[in-house]
Each structure stands twice: as C-alpha cells, then as structure tokens.
Structure 1
C-alpha cells in the first residue's frame, strides 16, 4: 500500500521475500527509490496518475533487489479516496518476460534462416491469417515486404488454382490437418507460372489447440515436367505394347495356319509317296528287279521318316502355344508311366534299371511326361547293345532347384558336341544305327526352359552318358505365354 506521494504505507510478507528487504526497511520510503533507474521516470508518472484517482492493470517496471538483481513486475493499482491510499498488487513476471524475449529471438532466427532458403516459406496465426513471407516469396512475386498482406499470396497464383488452394487452406484451418496442395505460382522475373508443392503444419499446444502455422512452397516444376514426360513415354510404350501384341497375335494365327499346312499339305504327298511305293512293291513285285524293289523300300522308309520328322517339328512348335498348367507332380509316378509307355516290363539280364528316391515338384504334368519319355527312350535305345545295360534314375537337391538325372552305360558321345544335341534335327549317330527324328531332345530342352530350369549332358565315347535337368522348388512355376517362346522355333 502506498500513500499519495508513493511512499510505502504497508507491505506484505511476499514483498519482503521477492525484494529481499524487510518491512521496517521499506516503510515510509519512496517506492521509486527501489526501481531500476531506467524505469524511475515512468514509475513516478504512474504514481501520480494513480494518486489523481486513476487505475491500471498492466503497468510494468523493473525493481532492484537487495542483492542487486533485477525483477520484472506487472502492477495493478487503484486509488482509494476514502483512505487516501494506493492499493497495489505486483506480480513477478521475470520468467514470462524471458520467455517472450526468447520467443522473439527464436522467431528472428527463424526468419533469418528462412530468408536464406531457396524455397518459399510463410507463417500464419492460429486463424490462418498469413503474417510472414520469406525473401524467396518476395523475389518470386516482386511484392515488397511493406506491401505484402495476408491476402497477397492469391495474386501470385494462377487464376485456375486460387479457389482450389483457398478451399484446401480453409479445410486445413477448420480441421487442424496438414495443408498439402500443388499449385502454379507466377515467377515475375521470367513471366512463367511454375509448379510448386505447398505444405503447412500446425503448431499445437499440449491440449491440441493450434498456436501457429508454418508452411513452405517447393518448386517442383522440373519434376512435374519429368512426370509428364514419363506419362507420355508410358502411354507411348503401352501403345507400342498393344501394337506388338497385335502383331504377335497375327504371327500366332500365321503360325497356326503354317502348322495346319504342314500337317495337311505336307502329310498328304508323303502318304501318297508311301502308299504308291507300297502298291508297286506289293502288286508288281514280280515285275520289279531286286534293285528296283530296294529303291522302293528306301523311298517308303524315307517317306515314313519324313512324316515322323514333320510330326516332331509340329510337336516342337506347339510347345510355345499353350500356357503351362503347373501343379504338384509325383516324379516317381511319371517315371513309372513313361517306362510303361516304352514297353518296359522290369529288369532282365540285358538291362538293369534302378530308380532312386525322387522328390515331388511343381510342373506341368503332361509336358514333364514327355521329358521322361524322351530321356528314358534314349537311355534304353543306346544301352541295348550293352551286356548288361545299366540305367540309373535319381535326383539331388541344390540351393534353389531339384536336379534330376538319367545315367546309362551306353555308347556315349564326345562332350564337345553336347550342346548340339539339343538343336532341332541334330544327331550324333547315324539314323540307320539308332532310330530317331532328332527332335526329342530339342523338345525336352524347351519344356525344361519353360519351367525355369536348365538341361545339360555329360558323356564320354563308349563310356555312357548322363542327362541332367533342373526344376525350381519352393515356388510356383510361372505360367508362360506362347509368344515368349515362339522365337525359339
């Protein structure tokens, strides 16, 4: 409590604690004597105003404690005309003032940093009113700091983007959700509208109340251009793929027509050749010389061999037409079925055949049946002159594949020519010694390749041969499209 001259009339215990002086030291002394010298003039005016019957709630000054430290105070005061005294309440706002100063310093540092950034930076109050643009924004728009206001951003945007950006900003303010939008802003220096990515995040109190918004605008013009180029390239690619698909479909129809031609047009004359040669040898044998009869027999054999080769070629080409139908296959069952198809009736004194444990796999059962038929047919064929012939069928597991093999002690071959075995019509032995069309191993290779595996052979002349092939395990064999393999023909 102060008298009309501003002298202490009464003090509380809190005053003693905050200022460091006792009640006796303060009573009767002028309150202005304890004020920071820089604030004494304002404080004296404050005392005069209150003594004249005034009242205040937010007067601030600094007091000097007994220890010389300074405390920031905020005063509320009123004059009592009855008592002729000033009743005052002072609050220690030192920490609050420090926080305000720290905030001002922080905002100043933020603005200095924002001015050095190549991106647009702006801030807004809790209500979404823009109160700051950084240097880059002013450079882009050529709007001065003095002329800029809360609505200036609208003048920088493309006319088609203003309402969309404003609506998105309104939604962000109402919901408190982050602001995110792409817009075009005019670069006044070049006269070009450039694409930007605008983003803003709210700063929240512990209670979730929005305090401020901090926002940026990133130039994505080149990125947008690259995206547009990519979309055009993708569209062009899709058109090319469609055109290529159409071309491949046409090629497929042509191939089917060719296959029909081979099946019908070539077989017909071959049957005629074979048929007429049989008529000559059957009905006119007595009229033919032995040499002529031999020639006709060769013609018939050649025609029949040619027909088998045509059948083999058709079978080879058709492998690329249909999609695989993979499922779990018991390999031992396929081997037994293949042996049965080849007329195998069990071990005899001439050939000893052993089938080891074979793992199941995932494959197209029909196609894999052809693999075993061809490999076992070759093994039986090339061991028939061995006494005894020995054939072993087995498998082993590698990292990602199962490796199957067919081993025999037949006539073998030179390993230098192993790769040529898998070409169409490629043979290492004469047809009059060992029958065949030269298509079987080519069929086997294509089937294995379509299953994602590989096939190879190891052999030595007169020391037998081993054919290996792999199939992937623990994953599904992918269905293959016909067009992806037709180029192998």
Structure 2
C-alpha cells in the first residue's frame, strides 16, 4: 500500500487533530481535518479521502451520526472510530452501524494505530478491486451473450440461403444396394457427387468413428419404421475438420409396405452446436463463479461473527480487573474514602456490571448466529408449555391469564425455536409486570405456504412507527429504569427466524399491548422448503 493515501481526521479538539496530523504526516500520508461530523461530510465530498478517523463525541454532529451518513452516501470509504474513556459502548455501536474498526484515546501505541489504518486501507483496496472484477465479469458476460446471439443469427441466415444436402438410398431385400448424393454434398462434406459414386464406402468412411454405432443403429431402424427418423452426428470434412450434421431419414414403401428406398436430408448444424457448447461452458463458468463468491461471502460472515465474538470475549478480562479492584476498594478501603469517592466507586461498579451484561448479550447473540440448524418436526404446543415451566416462579407470584391457542407443528431446530419462544414470552411477562392482571396469548394460523406464530400481551406496548428498531442489537424503546434488559433478545429472535428462511415483525399500541409475529416456511416430507 502506497503512503500517498489521504486521511481525514475529525475531532472537535484542535490538539488531538494536530497530534494525529503529525503522526500521519510522519508516515507521509496526506492529511485533511474537520472539527465535527457536518464539516467532515463536506470535506469527504470535496477531498474524497481514502480513510476517515473520527471522534465519537462532538458538537453539531457526533461520530455515530457522521458514520451513518457516510455509509449511506460513500459506503466504500473505510472509517475508524476514536473513542474516549467511558465510550466503549458507543465504539461498539459505531462498529455495528458501519465503522471498520475503532481505537481508544489516548492512542499510546502508534504502531497499533498504524496497523489498523493500513489494514483498513488494504481492505478498501480489495473491496474496490473486487467490485471492478465483477463489473468486468458482467461486461464479459454481456459480450459473450451478444456473440452467441450473433452466431445464432448467422446460423439462421445460413440455413435460409444454403440448399439442403439430399441423398437417396435404394433398398433391395432389406439391403442398401445403391446411394446417390445430390447437389450440396460438396459444400457440407468437401466431396463431390462423383466421388461418392466412385467410392461406395466413402459415406461410411467420413462418419466420425465414435458416432458410427448410432448411425448404424438408425440405418437398421429405418427398415421397419413407418415414418421419418432423425439423428445428429459428426462428419469428417475433406479438409480434416469435424462438422455436426442433422440427418433426417424419410422411408418410401411400395403398395405392399415393403421398403424400397429412403431419402436422407442433411443440414449443417456445426454453428448451432458450437453456440450450444459456448452457452453450456458459460453457464458452467458462471455457476462456478457464483459458488466461489458464495463461499467467499460465507467465509466473510464467519470471520465477522468470529470478530464480534473475539471483541466481546477479549473485553471481559480487563473489565473483570476493573470491577474486581473496584470492589476491593469499596470493601477494604471504605473508611478512607469520602462520600463523593464512595459514590464514584459505586458508579464504576454499576457501570462494570452493565457492561458485563452487554458483553454477555453479544456473546449470546454470536453463539446463536453460529449454531448449526438441525431441522426436525417440532410440536410447538408441547414446546411452548415446556418454556412456560421455566417461568414458574414469576407465574406463581403474579396474576397472569395464559391462553395457549391452536399451535401448528413446524419443521425447525427445536433448541433454537425454544430460544425464540423463551425470549418472546420473557418479553411479554416483563412488559406486563405493571398490569394488575396480565394477559398473554400464544397461537398460530396457516397463511398460504407459511405458518404464522404469534405471542400477544396487554403490556406497555410501544409506538408502532418504531417497530423495526426493536430487532436491532442493543435497540430498546423503553428506559432501563422502567424495564431492565440489554436489547439483544429480539435481535436473537430475528436472527434465528431468518436463518430458518422466515421473517419476524411486531405490531403494538402504547399502553395497550404488543403482538410479535414470526413465520416459518412450510417444509415438505423430503425436507425441501
């Protein structure tokens, strides 16, 4: 990667921009600056940088809003988020909405920043190269398709202008005794009618050796056939080249039905055969390219899931150190701390606990995303009742009306489907907690080739305008002090349902309740959707 790349640095702190400018200029990069996200978008439009480093907390337009806007208009421009102390959750959100990577302030290890920037630039180069490759491939496909059409047109013009090659075979006592080749044979075989007349075995000699058994078989069948027979085979032209011909045999019989002769009508189909072979070859090549690209995408998805898993896993060790030492301070040095210090320490511990829950949620999401699907027939009525037993304690302490309606069976992974119902029922019980009498209804119905399943409650509900936001990772429509949670449960539901080939959606009204639907495609008895 050449160091002529242009870097855009966005930070509302002038000193931070100056430090990053000095760092990148020492590496011989071009550097442009902006003080907030809005200025950053203007600079991207005018300067077209190769990579962007943006702070996350800025006035006017923060880093998350900038990244979202950048992804919409310049999706291939790599961006690295710079997070300050206490903004790790924001950094993770930045990666989720489109940042390629992130670093934390202060950037003490210049080598680490250099590696991340070079890795992002290399990724952008490969992405652009891949796009150009597929554009060239599409052009080649169009060119080859045009060539095939032109070849077929030439073939049609040839057929309309060239006289058919006709020959007649005389039969006596079921045996061929004479063959006459007429005009047109020289254009197709290279041999004149006279040459065929002098050499009675010439026709058999120019039939391609591998095709002789098929030609011999049809010659025997014509003796007993009431109508024409057709065959396609190859001939060796006088110039040594192989030609494909269509050979149609038309029998002639006397009044007693005895075969006395048959006419052969031959057409040169070489161009058509070559065009068909080109189409087959092109289709095979395209299928292989699609298969290769699919493999690449599957590998990229696995790497992305592994990346998310690694980030979550690697964050736990330093977080546990922070939490552990904070608890030691709170327990062993409590008497030496002022009230303000105790309050700060309490906030640190609470923040660590919250972050630990978020990390656990990310790990759980990653686990369900990678778990293989083992389809089998699932009795959903039995599965739902099993899930309810896991909420026995809460059910016994509250007044809850449960209505389990008609539950149609389905073809799904029972473990993953169990998690779908566990998350949906858990949500229903949580958001009906403030109701004196909570009502939860579970059922299903058939719609075309889909089975629709639903979980309905009379809980807090929400504005239906924001329904799709519910299924994003860490997306919540209620405050944490109202209802606890991490915002991952419904994302897991959507991931599992979509991996089964279905879809999920929600309908609700504020303070009335919510209904969550999901559909699974009908699977036939051989396992095909």
Q: Same fold (TM over 0.5)?
A: yes
Whole-Å separation in 1 of the counterparts to 2:203 and 2:360:
79
Where does residue 56 of structure 1 map in the other structure? none
- Any gaps of 5 or more consecutive residues in structure 1? 1-113, 481-489
Q: 2:497 matched to 1:452?
A: no
Provide the residue aligned with 2:261 in structure 1.
212
CA distance in 2, matches of 1:383, 1:242: 48
Matches within 5 A, 1:471-482: 471-473=520-522, 475=524
After TM superposition, the structure 1 = structure 2 runs for residues 273-422 of structure 1, keeping only pairs within 5 Å, are 273-344=322-393, 346=395, 350-422=399-471
Q: CA deviation at 1:203?
A: 6.1
Pick the aligned partner of 2:197 from 149, 169, 186: 149
| Superposed CA offset, 1:77-124 (max 9, x none) | xxxxxxxxxxxxxxxxxxxxxxxxxxxxxxxxxxxxx99985433332
- Give the CA deviation at 1:428: 0.8
SS in 1 for 2:421: helix
**Which digits, 9 at most, give the CA deviation of each residue in 1:116-149, with x for residues without a partner?**
9854333323334563445443554576656652
Choose the corresponding residue for 2:482, options 429, 433, 442.
433
Alignment partners' CA distance in 1, 2:209 and 2:375: 57
Q: 1:479, CA displacement in angstroms?
A: 8.6
Higher deviation after alignment, 236-245 or 454-463: 236-245
Contact 2:189–2:235 (8 Å) recurs in 1: no
Q: Which residue of 2 aligns with 1:180?
A: 231
Deviates more, 1:363-372 or 1:263-272: 263-272
Structure 1 contact 448–455 (Cα < 8 Å) conserved:
yes
Q: Distance in 1 between matches of 2:187 and 2:472?
A: 72
Q: How far has the Cα of 1:397 moved from its partner? A: 2.0
Residues 249-299 of structure 1 show CA distances to partners (whole Å, capped at 9, x for unaligned) of 754664465355235321111222222222222222222233333332332
Distance 2:383 2:521 in 1: 17
Please name the residue that 1:467 is paired with: 516
Greater alpha carbon shift after TM alignment, 178-187 vs 391-400: 178-187
Contact 2:443–2:455 under 8 Å retained in 1: yes
- Map of 1:28 onto structure 2: none
Going from structure 1 to structure 2, the CA distance change for 1:260 and 1:145 (only over 3 Å counts) comes to closer
**Are 2:232 and 2:244, in contact at CA under 8 Å, matched by a contact in 1?**
no
**TM-superposition CA deviations, 1:413-461 (whole Å, max 9, x none):** 1111111111111111112321111111111111111222221111111
Deviations 1:157-209 (A, max 9, x none): 8x6x5444555444444566867342146499xx9764323344666799996
SS in 1 for 2:512: coil
Distance, in Å, in 2 between the alignment partners of 1:162 and 1:352 is 83
Give the structure 1 partner of residue 18 of structure 2.
Answer: none
Is 2:269 the partner of 1:224? no
Which of 169, 187, 190 matches 1:124? 169
Counterparts of 1:206 and 1:179, CA distance in 2: 24
Give the match's secondary structure for 1:374: helix
Distance 2:271 2:502 in 1: 45
Between the aligned partners of 2:377 and 2:160, the Cα distance in structure 1 is: 67
TM-score normalized by the length of structure 2: 0.59
Equivalences, count: 363
Shift in CA distance, 406/271, structure 1 to aligned 2, threshold 3 Å: same
Q: Distance in 2 between matches of 1:315 and 1:151?
A: 83
| Distance of 2:490 and 2:467 partners within structure 1 | 11
Q: Is the 8 A contact 2:457 2:513 kept in 1?
A: yes
Equivalent position SS for 2:330:
helix
**Relative to structure 1, is the Cα distance of residues 123 and 298 closer, same or farther in structure 2, using a 3 angstrom cutoff?**
farther
Output one character per residue of 1:27-50: Cα deviation in whole Å (capped at 9) or x when no partner: xxxxxxxxxxxxxxxxxxxxxxxx
SS at match of 1:452: coil
Match of 1:261 among 310, 314, 323: 310
Moved more, 241-250 or 451-460: 241-250
1:370 to partner: Cα distance: 0.9
CA separation in 1, counterparts of 2:299 and 2:284? Answer: 23
- Cα distance in structure 2, aligned partners of 1:399 and 1:441: 25
Alignment of 1:47-66 (within 5 A): none
Question: Structure 1 residues 285, 433: CA separation in 2 closer, same or farther (over 3 Å shift)?
Answer: farther
1: CA distance, partners of 2:524 / 2:455: 24
Asked if the contact 1:329/1:362 (under 8 Å) is kept, the reply is yes
Tell me, in whole angstroms, the C-alpha distance in 1 between the residues paired with 2:373 and 2:526.
Answer: 8
* SS of corresponding position for 1:475: coil
Question: What CA deviation, in whole Å up to 9, does each residue of 1:277-332 have, x standing for no partner?
Answer: 22222222222233333332332232222222223223323444343211111112
Cα root mean square deviation, aligned? 3.8
* Higher helix proportion: 2
Segments of 5+ residues of structure 2 without an aligned counterpart are 1-158, 224-228
